[in-house]
């Protein structure tokens, strides 16, 4: 299955990046009092870095379940938009079973590479990415929780940028020679920077920041530069 393979290959840089991030997560999970197995179960079922880091704090402080629900809703609300965006990239006749399996794996990075596919997105491509990325996320969690000093610090640091490199490789090529997309990317980064340096905006969590900026920037862009049928996604 070549589509699956193609996805699996693109899942490798994600898995490497996940290894580094989930390694740090595993160390924190252990410090929060979770067993290595509990940490791996959380990684394998939630697949959300920021959500899991928040989850650790909530579990360690025995927070109310309503608090957990509320925190996860806010932190992970961006997946709602990503999922909606992907719904327009797959064949409308895709059966619900495929949609349900694909949905499980929508992380920032899996979404990123899936959205970079030209034309219609096949569920098998996304499965390929998931089948490499998810084990990487779980393995890193296990290594971090089981033995926090197995990976040298400079390697973790270098691998930590892998995910960002991948996301950059997703958004830059289509923006090349496209003034609207280039402008949107630039404005988004400047907006994001403002949220992290302006004291009042700093208090807003990163999940909320992503949602607010997406509605604002993509909302205005859609109004000013509606996408025509022909130019849409080649």
Partner 1 sequence: MSNVYLYLLVMAMVTYLIRVLPLTLIRKEIKNTYVKSFLYYVPYVTLAVMIFPAILDATASPVSGLVGFVVAIIIAYYGKGLFTVSLFACLSVFIVEWFL
- Name the helix (H) or strand (E) containing 135: helix 123-146
The CA distance from 213 to 165, in Å, is 21
Segment 197 to 216, residues that bind partner 1, using CB under 8 A: 206, 209-210, 213-214
226 interacts with partner 1 by CB under 8 A = yes
| Binds partner 1 by CB under 8 A, chosen from 1, 57, 147, 164 | 164
Q: How far is the CB of 50 from partner 1 (least distance, A)?
A: 10
DSSP secondary structure letters along 51-67:
HHHHHHHHHHTT--HHH
Q: What does each C-alpha distance from 91 to 66, 102, 121, 147 come to in angstroms? A: 37, 13, 7, 44
- Min dist CB 146 to partner 1, Å, is 17
* Cβ pair 111, 90 in contact under 8 A: no
**DSSP code, position 90:** B
User: Which one of the spans 132-140, 143-151, 167-175 is the region binding partner 1 (CB under 8 A)?
Assistant: 167-175
Query: What distance in Å separates the CA atoms of residue 219 and residue 213, rounded to the nearest whole number?
Result: 9
Among 157, 198, 201, 202, binds partner 1 (CB under 8 A): 157
Enumerate residues 48-87 that contact partner 1 by CB under 8 A: 48, 51-52, 55, 58-59, 62, 65, 68-69, 72-73, 76-87
| 167 forms part of the interface with partner 1 (CB under 8 A) | yes
Which position among 168, 198, 201, 202 is part of the footprint of partner 1 (CB under 8 A)?
168
Tally Cβ neighbours within 10 Å of residue 209.
18
* Residues 120-149, interacting with partner 1 (CB under 8 A): none
3-state secondary structure of 88: coil
Give residues 6-45 in contact with partner 1 (rule: CB under 8 A).
Answer: 9-10, 12-13, 16-17, 33-34, 38, 41-42, 45
Sign of CA dihedral 231, 216, 69, 52: positive
Stretch that binds partner 1, among 96-104, 133-141, 143-151 (CB under 8 A): 96-104
């Amino acid at each position: 299955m070549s589509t699956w393979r193609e996805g699996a290959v693109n899942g490798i840089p994600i898995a490497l990046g996940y290894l580094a991030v989930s390694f740090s997560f595993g160390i924190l999970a252990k410090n929060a009092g979770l067993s290595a197995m509990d940490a791996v179960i959380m990684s394998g079922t939630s697949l959300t870095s920021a959500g899991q880091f928040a989850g650790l704090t909530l579990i360690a402080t025995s927070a109310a379940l309503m608090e957990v629900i509320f925190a996860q809703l806010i932190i992970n609300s961006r997946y709602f938009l990503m999922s909606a965006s992907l719904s327009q990239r797959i064949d409308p006749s895709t059966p619900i079973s495929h949609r349900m399996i694909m949905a499980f794996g929508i992380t920032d990075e899996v979404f990123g590479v899936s959205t970079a596919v030209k034309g219609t997105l096949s569920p098998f491509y996304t499965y390929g990415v998931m089948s490499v990325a998810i084990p990487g996320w779980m393995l890193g969690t296990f290594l971090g929780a089981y033995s926090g000093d197995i990976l040298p610090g400079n390697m973790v640091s270098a691998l930590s940028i892998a995910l960002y490199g991948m996301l950059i490789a997703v958004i830059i090529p289509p923006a090349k020679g496209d003034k609207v997309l280039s402008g949107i990317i630039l404005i988004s980064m400047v907006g994001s920077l403002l949220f992290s340096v302006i004291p009042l905006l700093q208090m807003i969590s990163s999940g909320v920041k992503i949602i607010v900026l997406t509605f604002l920037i993509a909302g205005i862009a859609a109004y000013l530069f509606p996408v025509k049928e022909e130019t849409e996604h080649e």
